[in-house]
């Protein structure tokens, strides 16, 4: 994440002006980012190799892909209502559940900070937690927050008896999300599709609608509705190759924003976890 258009941020946050703090509206520091997790996934040898179910005894060999948690944050400053913020390096940026252990993100330059759980087993996503995203620089703390990080949303259609879905290449895939709990809003839902090699190595995503830039995150503040639909359709372009195995990750996330008065109202933060299914194309 490099830069964002503050004019778009102001437009995106206009629906919330009645509830905003004037200090947050005029604050000259901004933070956007994501905290996402995926569970451990077991992929059968038949799904990877394309054999018919039952070729391997007792379900056959299984490849386990480890669970992962990752945080990516952009922290920057702006001058004037229509200026583009400049990334701020040299900050100490942490992510932590309230009352829990803080995880320090790595300064990657240009205002970008990141950390994954690879090699850091103590960095784990906690459903139900209130997460704080804290940047400390020049003796000041800037705090963003996401309340009630969601639990993994079970998508029954992604778990057929065979253990994986079979579809034709370049064919759309649709499924229905479960109803939200009573008196609760449906979480935002995003999809990412990645190919798997026969050895289980993940390739570059063939499709995602998960916001990955500051501008995309800020646009989401004003227009979250399309990501709360009960029915999800993944375009056929997400499955371009025949005889290929793909992971379909459905991310259920909750959105938060600025908590401290010195952080711009348009700041947008996402926290959530993924449901994962396996698809084999014909």
Question: Above pLDDT 70, what percent of the chain?
Answer: 86
Confidence class for position 9, pLDDT limits 50, 70, 90:
very low
- Strands (E) in 99-215, as ranges, are 103-104, 106-109, 112-116, 131-137, 140-146, 165-167, 173-176, 188-196, 207-208
Position 19 pLDDT exceeds 60: no
**52-73 residue pLDDT tens:** 444 434 445 788 889 999 999 9
Judge residue 280's burial from the number of C-beta atoms within 10 Å of its C-beta, 0-12 exposed, 13-18 middle, 19 or more buried: buried
The per-residue pLDDT for 21 is 65
Q: Print the domain residue range for 231.
A: 6-281
What does pLDDT average to over the chain? 86
Segment holding 77, helix H or strand E: strand 68-77
Residue 201 lies in a domain: yes
Give how many domains the chain has, as a whole number: 1
Contact 62, 106 (CB under 8 A): no
Q: Which residue would you say has higher pLDDT here, 21 or 93?
A: 93
**116-129 residue pLDDT tens:** 998 777 899 999 99
Residue 188 lies in a domain: yes
The per-residue pLDDT for 2 is 40
**Rounded to an integer, what distance in angstroms lies between the CA atom of residue 147 and that of residue 5?**
26
Position 216 pLDDT exceeds 90: no
The per-residue pLDDT for 184 is 86
Confidence class for position 238, pLDDT limits 50, 70, 90:
very high
Look up the pTM and report it: 0.85
Mean pLDDT, range 94-123, rounded to an integer: 93
Residue 1 lies in a domain: no
Q: Which residue has the tokens 């799904």?
A: 47
Highest averaged pLDDT of the listed ranges 2-11, 220-229, 264-273: 264-273
The per-residue pLDDT for 60 is 54
The per-residue pLDDT for 82 is 54
Residue 200 lies in a domain: yes
Contact 43, 6 (CB under 8 A): no
Alpha helices (H) along the chain: 6-12, 22-26, 45-49, 214-222
Contact 97, 62 (CB under 8 A): no
Residue 240 lies in a domain: yes
Mean pLDDT, range 269-275, rounded to an integer: 97
The per-residue pLDDT for 44 is 82
Other CB atoms within 10 A of residue 76 CB:
27
Residue 59 lies in a domain: yes
Q: Which residues contact 244 (CB under 8 A, 6 or more apart)?
A: 169, 195, 280, 281
The per-residue pLDDT for 83 is 58
Pick the range with the lowest mean pLDDT from 15-29, 98-112, 136-150. 15-29
């Amino acid at each position: 994440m490099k830069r964002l258009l503050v004019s778009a941020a102001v437009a995106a946050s206009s629906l919330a002006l009645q509830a905003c703090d004037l200090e947050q509206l005029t604050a000259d520091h901004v933070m956007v980012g994501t905290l996402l997790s995926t569970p451990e996934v077991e992929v059968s040898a038949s799904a990877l190799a394309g054999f018919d179910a039952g070729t391997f005894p007792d379900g056959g060999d299984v490849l386990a892909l480890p669970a992962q948690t990752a945080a990516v944050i952009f922290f920057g400053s702006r001058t004037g209502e229509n200026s583009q913020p400049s990334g701020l390096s040299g900050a100490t940026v942490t992510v932590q559940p309230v009352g829990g252990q803080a995880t320090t993100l790595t300064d990657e330059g240009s205002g970008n900070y990141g950390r994954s759980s690879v090699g850091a087993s103590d960095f784990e996503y906690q459903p139900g937690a209130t997460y704080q995203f804290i940047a400390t620089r020049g003796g000041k703390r800037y705090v963003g927050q996401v309340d009630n990080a969601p639990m993994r949303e079970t998508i029954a259609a992604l778990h057929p008896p065979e253990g994986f879905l079979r579809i034709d290449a370049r064919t759309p895939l649709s499924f229905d999300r479960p109803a939200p709990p009573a008196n609760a809003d449906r979480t935002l839902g995003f999809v990412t599709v990645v190919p798997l090699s026969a050895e289980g190595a993940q390739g570059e995503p063939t499709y995602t609608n998960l916001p990955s830039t500051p501008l995309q995150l800020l646009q989401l503040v004003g227009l979250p509705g399309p990501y709360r639909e009960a029915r999800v359709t993944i375009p056929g372009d997400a499955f371009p190759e025949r005889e290929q195995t793909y992971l379909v990750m459905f991310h259920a996330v909750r959105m938060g924003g600025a908590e401290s008065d010195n952080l711009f109202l348009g700041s947008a933060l996402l926290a959530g976890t993924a449901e994962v299914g396996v698809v084999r194309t014909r």
